[in-house]
């Protein structure tokens, strides 16, 4: 497979700067350097500076958990691309279900953010996923398709290659419930088909599609063995060096 595995930690609203550095040091010690797997950690904004320094000399990359699409100005509480670039951020998580749910982010806003991240030379990790009631009423593929298509509206094929998609069924996030490998693969394959329709199959084959939703060392091997699952966006299990390192090792030995 030409796609590299990618394991990214979404630390959410956890860890002070000092705690972030301690976690990074411990992960570095446990995973060493990586060849087959890309690894990134996405701390809170206030830890990015310290995290960036702690990551120097390591193959691990830095990501942010959100970004506003405007360059600067009267947007109280927001963070711009230039502010993230100060810390060598490579990735920005966008459209996470918690942002869609608690902060009412819509596909249209997320699309503006995706474009701004790309224009600034960083890579968006675009999160898509259905809620429990949507899955139970057979709407999973409709929801995921709409979020993917609208999130990527107006993106060129060349830029599409830089995007990472994270399929995160909302009912599996932080709940301990995981999609079965077959359930996840079905949606990942559907996403790849949407990407092929939009950008051509050659481009679609290059785009990493991560699974997120209670991924942990005990279920990672089976998920990563699926053809279209290229890694994981990890919440809870990314907050402990042991479990995060075990996930990186699973991806190293996958397929
Ligand atoms: C997430 O929120 O991106 C996530 C996947 O969380 P968890 O692994 O805790 O389910």
Say if ligand 1 is within 6 A of residue 243 CB.
Answer: no
Number of the ligand 1 atom closest to the C-alpha atom of 172 = 10
Say if ligand 1 is within 6 A of residue 231 CB.
Answer: no
Overall average pLDDT of the 171-179 stretch? 90
What count of other Cβ atoms lies within 10 Å of the Cβ of residue 143?
A: 18
pLDDT band at 100 (very low <50, low <70, confident <90, very high): very high
Say if ligand 1 is within 6 A of residue 233 CB.
Answer: yes
Ranges 6-15, 29-38, 123-132, 178-187: which has the least confidence: 29-38
Please choose from 97, 164, 212 the residue to mutate so as to test ligand 1's pocket, defined by most ligand atoms within 8 A of CB: 212
The DSSP-derived string for the chain is --SPEEEEEE--S---HHHHHHHHHHHHHHH---SSEEEEEE--GGGHHHHHHHHTTSS-EEEES---SSSSSS-TT---HHHHHTTTEEEEEES-HHHHHHS---HHHHHHHHHHHHHTT-EEEEEE---HHHHHTT-HHHHHHHHHHHHTTT--HHHHTT-EEEE--GGGTTTS----HHHHHHHHHHHHHHHHHHH-HHHHHHSEEEE-SS--HHHHHHHHTSTT--EEEESGGGSSHHHHHHHHHHHHT--
Cα 21 to ligand 1 centre (Å): 21
Q: Are strands 123-128 and 164-167 parallel, antiparallel or unpaired?
A: parallel
Give the pLDDT confidence of 153-165 residue by residue, as tens digits.
999 999 999 999 9
Average pLDDT across the chain, whole number: 97
Overall average pLDDT of the 219-242 stretch? 98
Question: So what's the pLDDT on residue 1?
Answer: 53
Give the pLDDT confidence of 33-54 residue by residue, as tens digits.
878 899 999 999 999 999 999 9
- Report which protein residue has its CA nearest ligand 1's atom 2: 235
Say if ligand 1 is within 6 A of residue 169 CB.
Answer: no
Confidence check: pLDDT of 177 > 90 = no
Please choose from 40, 131, 168, 172 the residue to mutate so as to test ligand 1's pocket, defined by most ligand atoms within 8 A of CB: 168
Say if ligand 1 is within 6 A of residue 89 CB.
Answer: no
| Percent of the chain surpassing pLDDT 90 | 95
Say if ligand 1 is within 6 A of residue 168 CB.
Answer: yes
- Report which protein residue has its CA nearest ligand 1's atom 7: 235
What count of other Cβ atoms lies within 10 Å of the Cβ of residue 94?
A: 27
Confidence check: pLDDT of 255 > 80 = no
Rounded Cα distance between 147 and 112, Å, is 13
Cα 72 to ligand 1 centre (Å): 30
């Amino acid at each position: 497979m030409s796609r590299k595995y990618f394991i990214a930690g979404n630390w959410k609203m956890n860890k002070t700067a000092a705690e972030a550095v301690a976690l990074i040091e411990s992960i570095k010690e446990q995973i060493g350097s990586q060849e087959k797997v890309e690894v990134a950690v996405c701390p809170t904004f206030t830890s990015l500076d310290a995290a960036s320094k702690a990551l120097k000399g390591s193959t691990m990359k830095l990501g942010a958990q959100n970004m506003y699409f405007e360059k600067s100005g009267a947007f109280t509480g927001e963070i711009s691309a230039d502010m993230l670039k100060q810390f060598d951020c490579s990735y920005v998580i966008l459209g996470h279900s918690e942002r869609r749910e608690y902060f009412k982010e819509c596909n249209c806003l997320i699309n503006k953010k995706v474009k701004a991240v790309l224009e600034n030379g960083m890579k968006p990790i675009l999160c898509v996923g259905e809620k429990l009631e949507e899955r139970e009423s057979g709407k999973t593929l409709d929801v995921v398709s709409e979020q993917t298509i609208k999130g990527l509206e107006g993106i060129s094929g060349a830029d599409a290659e830089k995007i990472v998609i994270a399929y995160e069924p909302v009912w599996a996030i932080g709940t301990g419930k995981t999609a079965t490998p077959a359930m996840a693969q079905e949606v990942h394959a559907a996403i790849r088909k949407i990407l092929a329709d939009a950008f051509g199959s050659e481009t679609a084959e290059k785009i990493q599609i991560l699974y997120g939703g209670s991924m942990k060392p005990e279920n990672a091997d089976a998920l990563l063995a699926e053809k279209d699952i290229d890694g994981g966006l990890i919440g809870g299990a990314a907050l402990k060096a042991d479990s995060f390192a075990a996930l990186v090792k699973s991806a190293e030995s996958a397929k």
